[in-house]
Amino acid sequence: MKRDNGRANGALPTRGLSRRKLFRLGSAAAAGALLATAKAGAEEAAPPADNPWSQTMGAGVVDRPYGVPAEGEAGVIRRNVPWLTAGTESSVSFSPLQELNGIITPNGLFFERYHAGRTDVTRDEHRLMIHGLVERPIVLTMDDILRFPSVSRIHFIECPANGGMEWRAAQLNSLQFTHGMISCAEWTGVKLSTLLEEVGLKKNAKWALVEGADGAHMTRSLPLDKCLDDCLIVYGQNGEALRPEQGYPLRLIVPGWEGNVSIKWLRRIKIGDKPWYTREETSKYTDLMPNGKSRGFTWLIDAKSVVTFPCPEKPLRHGPGSYEIRGLAWTGNGKVREVHVSTDGGANWQKAQLHEPVLSKALTRFSMPWQWDGKPALIESRVIDETGYVQPTIGQLRKIRGSNSIYHNNSIQTWQIKQDGSVFDVQTA
């Protein structure tokens, strides 16, 4: 008897079926119908009936030598906004934050950002060259890099354009698309400082140029202070080798700074005395202010938080009653100190509970119990980081930066809850 699993021969569990119906309903605009269908499906699968998967034998070991998620999770995937970019090779995809638990992003769901497409590098032919203002320029193979003392750290990477489409107005009715250009992983590799000590920095060394092996040879300038502080050259991501999407076999991690500087497929580090003013730090990744001036080298990711439940993809399905508001907070400035949650559009706030572990420059989970009275509500979260910095509103940001700066929108997100439990992305004043 050979069967892939209980769901492959048409004996789909009723819950799976109802879930597919939900998929077809598509946008959260159909949230009312969505609530009703979910309820009916749950009742059909209830005891005393025995389930089909209980009446058969499952697949054996190594049926899937490299595991995959359950079939019912097929919709939990990275997604893109096709109209946003000219093609998919210089583009971005978004992590499904609405479906994730904990603080670690599974490797297959880590958001993508390419400038010349995913680069498939042959590990044994990959080299890292370190040269410039150093005593001993070197070329390292991956095997060489593995010999250096190793460290593991949990850090988020956020594209500074995360939320960039919301500068002008609430546009995307989806947590995945308003906030999904962030992911968090445990990274394993070598401290960049270890490698820089190895090559010996010359006295006038002040900056590093970091460059990828992709078709765009993605390049950024980094001040040496940051390189020596906490940057990592990593080959491990959540316990396995980096995924090609995240820079296999070697990438840079610049903790707490805009994701663009964490160069993937890292092939070269050149030490110099000045920055290089590459295209990615002049034409792009600079912030245009309302007076026509632009800010460059704005690397830091300021503190930000977002409620991940409820959200447009995850409406309130059970009518008035008890809910747990859940969310994520992070800061490039160290640790999250506090998160506050409001259910009345920012008139009143309550302290949320932070979930351990609370790590520096990593995603932090928070939650707060909530008794919903069934009336319209405006849900928001606000983070304060360990420096005392308070996450601003979009109005406060616009007052200073206007709405054309694309990057670094770390404003408070407002979710509008309607009476039927559906949720919409809104902005308030």
Partner 1 sequence: MFKPLKLTLIAAGVLAFAVAAQAQQKKPYGYGKPATPEQIAGWNIDARGDDGEGLPAGKGDVARGTEVFAEQCAVCHGTFGEGEGRYPKLVGGNGTLTADRPEPTVGSYWPFAVTLWDYINRAMPMPTPHTLSADDVYALTAYVLNLNNLVPDDFVADKTSLPKVKMPNHDNFSWQDPRPDTAAKPCMTKCIDPKDIKIISTAEGTDLTPRTTGPLDTMQPK
| Subset of residues 354 to 393 that bind partner 1, contact rule: CB under 8 A | 378, 382, 384, 389-393
Q: How far is CA 102 from the centre of its chain?
A: 13
Query: Could you say which residues in the range 258-297 bind partner 1, by CB under 8 A?
Result: 267-268, 270, 272, 274-279, 282-283, 286, 288, 290-297
**Measured between alpha carbons, how far is 373 from 265 in angstroms, rounded to an integer?**
51
In the chain, what's the furthest Cα-to-Cα distance?
77
300 pairs with which residues across the strands?
Answer: 257
Give the residue, chosen from 112, 230, 245, 313, that forms a contact with partner 1 under the rule CB under 8 A. Answer: 313
Instruction: Supply the minimum distance, in Å, between the C-beta of residue 52 and partner 1.
Output: 23
Instruction: Supply the minimum distance, in Å, between the C-beta of residue 140 and partner 1.
Output: 4
Q: Does 299 bind partner 1 (CB under 8 A)?
A: yes
Give the residue, chosen from 95, 237, 262, 298, that forms a contact with partner 1 under the rule CB under 8 A. Answer: 298
Crossing angle for the helix pair 31-44 and 14-25, nearest 10 degrees? 170
Q: Does 215 bind partner 1 (CB under 8 A)?
A: yes
Of 306 and 397, nearer to partner 1 (C-beta) is 397
Of 177 and 366, nearer to partner 1 (C-beta) is 177
Sign of the torsion angle spanned by Cα atoms 240, 241, 243, 247:
positive
Give the residue, chosen from 44, 63, 73, 89, that forms a contact with partner 1 under the rule CB under 8 A. Answer: 89
**Measured between alpha carbons, how far is 245 from 64 in angstroms, rounded to an integer?**
22
Instruction: Supply the minimum distance, in Å, between the C-beta of residue 276 and partner 1.
Output: 5
182-191 vs 251-253, strand pairing mode: unpaired
Instruction: Supply the minimum distance, in Å, between the C-beta of residue 246 and partner 1.
Output: 20
Number of residues that bind partner 1 (CB under 8 A): 112
Instruction: Supply the minimum distance, in Å, between the C-beta of residue 320 and partner 1.
Output: 19
* Nearest partner of 228 among 249, 201, 202, 267, judged by Cα: 201
Instruction: Supply the minimum distance, in Å, between the C-beta of residue 50 and partner 1.
Output: 29
Instruction: Convert residues 114-143 into a mask of x (bound to partner 1 by CB under 8 A) and - (unbound).
Output: -xx------------xxx----xxxxxx--
User: If you ran DSSP here, which 8-state letter would residue 356 be given?
Assistant: S
Give the residue, chosen from 64, 123, 147, 202, that forms a contact with partner 1 under the rule CB under 8 A. Answer: 147
207-212 vs 219-223, strand pairing mode: antiparallel
Of 107 and 286, nearer to partner 1 (C-beta) is 286
Of 52 and 223, nearer to partner 1 (C-beta) is 223
Q: Does 191 bind partner 1 (CB under 8 A)?
A: no
207 pairs with which residues across the strands?
Answer: 223, 272
Q: Does 424 bind partner 1 (CB under 8 A)?
A: yes
* String of DSSP letters for 175-192: HHHHH-SEEEEEEEEEEH
Q: Does 27 bind partner 1 (CB under 8 A)?
A: yes
Of 75 and 369, nearer to partner 1 (C-beta) is 75
Q: Cis omega (within 30 of 0) on the bond before 249?
A: yes
Backbone φ and ψ of 269, nearest 5°: -130, 120
> Taking contact as CB under 8 A, which single stretch among the options 153-161, 231-239, 318-326, 338-346 is the one that binds partner 1?
338-346
Instruction: Supply the minimum distance, in Å, between the C-beta of residue 249 and partner 1.
Output: 15
Give the residue, chosen from 1, 10, 26, 356, that forms a contact with partner 1 under the rule CB under 8 A. Answer: 26
Q: How far is CA 70 from the centre of its chain?
A: 22
CA trace torsion 319, 324, 328, 333 (10° rounding): 130
Q: Does 204 bind partner 1 (CB under 8 A)?
A: no
Q: Does 59 bind partner 1 (CB under 8 A)?
A: no
**Measured between alpha carbons, how far is 111 from 74 in angstroms, rounded to an integer?**
17
Give the residue, chosen from 12, 241, 300, 358, that forms a contact with partner 1 under the rule CB under 8 A. Answer: 300
Give the residue, chosen from 12, 45, 170, 228, that forms a contact with partner 1 under the rule CB under 8 A. Answer: 170
User: If you ran DSSP here, which 8-state letter would residue 161 be given?
Assistant: T
- Please state, as a whole number, how many other Cβ atoms lie within 10 Å of the Cβ of residue 92: 21
Residues contacting residue 2 through CB under 8 Å, at least 6 positions apart: none
Give the residue, chosen from 95, 188, 219, 238, that forms a contact with partner 1 under the rule CB under 8 A. Answer: 219
Give the residue, chosen from 126, 187, 302, 417, that forms a contact with partner 1 under the rule CB under 8 A. Answer: 302
**Measured between alpha carbons, how far is 331 from 257 in angstroms, rounded to an integer?**
9
266-272 vs 251-253, strand pairing mode: unpaired
Of 2 and 24, nearer to partner 1 (C-beta) is 24
Is residue 259 within 8 A of residue 158, CB to CB? The reply is yes
Instruction: Supply the minimum distance, in Å, between the C-beta of residue 26 and partner 1.
Output: 5
Give the residue, chosen from 349, 358, 386, 420, that forms a contact with partner 1 under the rule CB under 8 A. Answer: 349
